[in-house]
Structure 1
């Protein structure tokens, strides 16, 4: 595990959840110097290739490659090295793949001092019913904590989880590990107030929001994938996530679809 994060504490990462490079570049241009951290996921990477990630890193931006790697250890290690060569600062691996692939990712990342390996615990769209369907009897929170313990044991720098689990995870992981929460949305007038919903591990309260899934046509901004919560069943607000102990939140549609993306980003940051 590396020791000095390239990210400031309590940071907002803007998700480039588009299906083409031009739309992503338009948002980056509109945000200008206001944003220095971007997430690139599987859809944009598959549609546009790795060039955008490399270009953003070369321009001085922090790049979070959300690859959710789930393969044999050798393949995961190779993908992590490729992410590091692109200049990425964060890369994700599926913790459900077990200690072997997480440890392989951590070892591969040692070649790149700035690269953080984050373990995805339970995908934010999953519910307890979904876990039961694949033979996991634990509820969502129990499974998140179990996988987080595995991630720490494998040497991962942090975890990916929903705002609902951030409080539990902060109590488990202590002050230094990264807790990155996707599925974060803004209310119509900025972040909705309130603390985190119902976590037994600290930070209980309101602030978890829903929102329908689906695909939204974003006009000149390109097609933004997902509805208000982007298909995240366990979504929340920036205030909820930061209050619970998240080190970073990932905000996509609330910024990409805003009339003034810079103002939306500032509202998200105000929650920290």
Structure 2
């Protein structure tokens, strides 16, 4: 369903601010993203409060450490009830496998639903100049995204986070069931902010995105409910015109 493809980013640092947005939008939006700002500002309990309000949570903490540390952290995050958790693909296959295996073991031990475990590839704020000159990676951003996506799939992960510009590439090499979560979504006419590799919601869905992440164009709009409805309408239209299989 369209409402489960839209993830609204709760880019605030207080519990009250986050829950106000959730209460306003939970009837329309199926998923909310809890990132570092909110998780560190409000504490881990915010995840459960959002779930109790009737929504699902994408817990976007980008775990990146040695395999043992990431595995232990993944166990803790499973207990939060989040539906999606993530690691950074730059941590390598052993780290990604540790996250997946530990999450599976903890979910089984506690009788909890197994969250999707996905890997972040190249951040949407990174353009080619920064990628080559500052980060020291040769070649094209797309080549690194492809390599990390394949590594994530081989490591047993459910999908990746990548910019909209790499959706088609990842879908082609990783198959129809691999999850692709895309930030960098900007409705037509919206400000780009610090995003560089962007698409509109409809373009991203037609390209094969499983979920799109939208923050400021919804949460910063004068009428947030109307802004969310407009994004959902575009997702629904793109899904129908492109024959998208909702998942």
**TM-score by structure 1 length?**
0.79
The answer to whether the 8 A contact 1:9-1:248 is kept is: no
Look up the match of 1:114: 114
Match for residue 260 of structure 1 among 223, 234, 237:
223
Look up the match of 2:239: none
Look up the match of 2:152: 151
1:244 aligns with 2:245: no
How far off its partner does 1:26 sit?
A: 1.4
Q: 1:229 to 1:92 in 2, by over 3 A?
A: farther
Q: 1:87 to 1:183 in 2, by over 3 A?
A: same
The answer to whether the 8 A contact 1:9-1:247 is kept is: no
Segments ≥4 residues shifted beyond 4 Å: 7-10
Summarize deviations over 1:223-272 as a string: whole Å, max 9, x none. xxxxx334111122101111110010001111101222122112111222
CA RMSD of aligned residues (A): 1.7
**TM-score by structure 2 length?**
0.87
1:69 aligns with 2:70: no
Look up the match of 2:78: 84
Give the length in aligned residue pairs: 228
Measure, in 1, the Cα distance between the counterparts of 2:202 and 2:116.
24
* Higher relative contact order structure (alpha carbons within 8 Å, sequence separation ≥ 6): 1
Name the SS for the 1:156 alignment partner: coil
The equivalences for 1:1-272 within 5 A come to 11-110=5-104, 111-112=106-107, 113-132=113-132, 133-188=134-189, 228-272=191-235
Name the SS for the 2:33 alignment partner: strand
Q: 1:139 to 1:9 in 2, by over 3 A?
A: farther
**Which consecutive residues of structure 1, in runs of 5 or more, have no partner in the other structure?**
1-6, 189-210, 212-227
